Chain A
Amino acid sequence: MKFKSKIFSMLMIAALGAFSLFFTNCSGDKTNADNQLEDTLSINDEFNKAKQVIYGIPSPIETAMLMKRAGAKFNQDYLNPLSNLTNYTTTRNMALNLGVYSADLSFASMFDQSQLSIKYLSATKKLADDLGILNAIDKSIITRMENNINNRDSVMEIISETFMNSNMFLKENDRGEIAAIILTGGWLEGLYIGVQIVKNTAQNKELMERIADQRLSLNTLISLLGEYKNDANVQAILPHMERLKKVFDKIQASSSKMEVVEKDGKNIITSTSEIKFTPEVFEELAAVITEIRSNIIK
């Protein structure tokens, strides 16, 4: 009887734990749903009935690809030196710089910097390990990277996989705010590298346009961070993003209605847009992103 009662007590504790976990998740969903509604309204003044709103931020791989397409040239000086790796000891610094190093890794790989890519992959592994992101980047991935280092498609695939592993792990373990901070670090580094390339090379209209386009992603990024506005680390980052937004808001843009046309078997979403991105606004943006980035990597 005593034994039965003990089992029953244990089951009750387990059940209470399960109940509390269940209700924590439910209230989390409710909070998210409320935030999503606010954020959705800020994006689009229309009531949104979607059960879930997902904010798609450009991953470091996509940003590196955009820069490459726009004619960027590689320069190692733009990257966060690996010697800074040991400076990152707080969760916020580790998460932001995991994003920074992921962007640097993508940039180096996109420009076929084999040995450097492996070094940056090792740096991202250390930060992922320190953040408790289990098995996102294990030894076998580094070996695969070494074995395929001359095949850019395989290297991009490996980087995409490591990014997805980290992303999945954090979301599945209710650490979405860390995933959002990592994306923020990666996005900031991509913007910083883009700005440095523009500053140090001859005029590149396409790259300037891609930098101006980042105003669209910044709005989405702020909405994503807004989902975790009660998190102290996110609270520390949001004012910097708002500061950047103030500069981006000085870019004047207008565009025509979108239409889909088929050309050579491809679907093209047509729409013309006019962007007024003055050298003064670019200089201001360059100064702000450089200051924010140097505070992150120090």
Chain B
Amino acid sequence: MSLPGGTSRPRAASVEARLARLGFVDPIRARRMLDDPAMTALVGVADDRDATSIALVEAMGRTSDPDQAVLGLLRVSEAVAGGALRDDPEHGTAALVRAVREDDVARLRLTAVLGGSSALADYLVSHPRAWRAVATAQRRTGDELRDRLVSAVQPATRGARSAYDALRIAYRAELLAIAALDLTSPDPVADLPVTAEALAQLAEAALEAALAVAREEYGPGHEDCRLAVIGMGKTGGGELNYISDVDVIFVAEPAEGVGEDRALEVGTALATGLMKACSATTGEGSLWPVDAALRPEGKAGPLVRTVASHVAYYRRWAKTWEFQALLKAWVSAGDRAVGMAYKSALSPMVWEAAGREHFVEDVQAMRRRVEGLLPAGEAARQLKLGPGGLRDVEFAVQLLQLVHGRYDASLRSATTLEALGALAKGGYVGRDDAAELDEAYRFLRTLEHRIQLAKMRRTHLMPVSPIELRALGRSVGFVADPASEVQEARLRRSRNVRRLHERLFYRPLLSAAARLSTDDSRLSPEAARARLAALGFRDPAGAMRHLESLTLGVSRRAAIQRQLLPVMLGWFADEADPDAGLLAFRRVSDELGTIHWYLKMLRDEGSAAENLARVLGRSRYAADLLLRAPESVSFLGDPAGLAPRDVAALTAIMRNAAGRRDRADEAIAAVRGVRRHELLRVVFADLVGGMGIEAVGRSLSDIAEATIEVGLEIAIRSVEHATGEPVPTAITVIGMGSLGGRELGYASDADAIVVHQPHPGASEEVAQARALAVVQELIRLLAVPGAEPPVGFDTDLRPEGKNGPLVRSLESYAQYYARWAQTWEFQALTRARCVAGSRELGDALIDLVEPLRWRPGGLTPTQVREIRTMKARVEAERLPRGADPRTHVKLGRGGLTDVQWTVQLLQLQHAYAVPALRVTGTVEALTAATAAGLLTPEQDRVLRASWMLASELRNAGVLWRGRAVDSVPADVRDAGGMGRIIGREPGAPGALVEEYLRVARRARAVVDDVFYGAAGELGAK
């Protein structure tokens, strides 16, 4: 290293400062290399650099990584000078110096490649002759590439080299040329399609050359088979990456006079030879793996088939995704006539795929797969996979091609960007949207190319180190702060792409429906219907009408809905019943569209529109409730709107609402209005707020409790009004069953008994009569048909059941329980809890039943036997005719009743000694029983699982169908819809039955042990 004498320090500082300004990160090291004697011929000596030398240094400064460029140039010039090549007239040192110093283009290319790719720099060092390929790079046609590679592998040309090595060296020379042009392009993003096409053509040329090698290896007889190589994927699409698997399918036909079996045998050998010629690793490395897995039957199928055999396969067995793959088929190498025969036989089938059965389901499943492919931890850096990735764009474009290409031949391009352009031209996607996506796709692909080029590795991940990010940013033209600018630019594109489904799939539908597009090329009505069907709408014509009604016209409402619907359609389409969702939305909007807060809320409140769309697409029950009182959706605008109110707050609101009305019927209508609103809130919280079955049960119980409380007050006022005097007795409602246990479902009745206590001095007879009148009025009020389902107020659990009086005095209860009560009534009392009316009286009644239900010493053996017998009889008799005991979630084997009776038996037997068991809820009691050692943790888990799943299924049935469903549905659609509501994966409806059967079977085994006291005797069931 020669540093000239005394003046070097200040000058050095300024040289280094200039180098740093040019973009060198380590200017001291860079300067040392520039001063290396091996560089003298290129850049002169330190103190005497002419303009050309400076231009060279500046050229290096313009590359992605100047430090790497200077090191690369030093190494390459050493390699040229140090070997046999030194005096070669075309490749030697003199030629290199001439190229770098005198040829502006060559200079830029060499520095760009050396700075842009450390892997290519290494290659140039080990193959110094190849520098000329960089310097003299020119864009070649596919045919030229083919000629060059094929001739390179001929025995006459390749000389002492093996055919494999010759192929690799020729391939790399062309790859260097492509990289040189790409890296020096003034606008690489715009040029991306050209680069990607060149890479695909080079791969095809290599396939052709590899086939020639395979034929040579096979020797005489190879001509018995006419073999065509069909490029698939990005190769077939003419849009390849630098480093990628090359997807192919092989098609063989016999040469004239040859049998088919013979041809297939030779064809298989040739195909295998071809794959090996490309993928084998020699001293010259390997090209890329050739992947033939897209062929019929995948890896299990024969490698080579005839055209007829392909046709037969696709006609019968092919799945939707296989047709999608065929979109890209392109005759890449081998016998063109055979390849064209294959293409012309198969492409009609591709365009019929959208009409096949299961197309919609397949597409939805494929979409889930595309979005779900993302390995955890890479999400933020992935360019290819996941939502917003390149694969997403490609997939969406292909899907639209399949849907619309059936009727419009202009859409049948194998290349993503061409197809996108054609879709825009035909009006299938908006022009602006298409242009923006096109740019985003090019940009992201360019980044992918640059990342792959750097190390020549197959990767789709953004780099993490600041150095690599900086080089990446510089490689696409960012100068000021390349590392952060490139990340920012990438994020902006990914965000754009992420809204792709909205833009590509839904927005054009809206333009079509609204007839507002200024383009002549609007999506035609037929195309719109085809697309809606492909997205999962079962009645596309109806859906189109709804869209028209929602968006036609110039009103503010139509304008806002045009903005909202593209996104909302996507949410509807994700749900189990998109048609119902859209219809319900239309009806809600018809009601509320003119109210100012409604549209504002949907537009401005983050999740309001999504929650509304998802709930309407999922639940008929919610849609019914909402349509009766659309203004309830207002809680979606409130950030805390999905938090249910507690019973005290509810009672206060209802009391307030009732207090403003004089007549009982009006008052109860007001109360029931509040109830409906609250029910809807719980439904929303359940469906989109992840509320959980236990919380839903508590909230529904709270609503019922408050309704009964205020209803009782209204009933008392009503009776007082009619009789003209105060009711002379205190009245209390005791909740029983699931109301007592605070675990009501959407379709559960509110079980209750009513007690009264005459005021001191009041006539018992009058008190009883008035109390009865109050209860009758309460029952009437709760059952009045209204805008929401009536409260099923059920008093059948009262003493003497249906034959007993509706209400009794406290004393009468005391007498009855002391003298007449049967064991089942004590069992029912395990769930008794005061819910409305006088608390004092409620406490008195609870005190009264306490020693009955938690009887000291537990149950007698006779009582245990009675309960067991009764249960066995209920099992045999209560099940509705025709119901399957295996799948009936309430009364069936291992269902809700089984678990409840088991828990209650334990309570009756042990609660006197274990105070924690004195609770009314099933789950609470389970927990207490396990804590007390009455159940093993495993038994607890099994019973709890069954109770949870059965309860969830009952609720899901109501939500999905709008009415109670007591069995796991046998209908595939119902199973799908209910499964979706309880959070099961879509697309596997059969799994729900299997899951319930398993859970219930296990629960039944525990019930047999714990409740019946033994594993059931054989034959008893």
- Asked if A and B are interacting partners, one says no
Chain A interface (Cβ within 8 Å of chain B)? none
Chain B interface (Cβ within 8 Å of chain A)? none
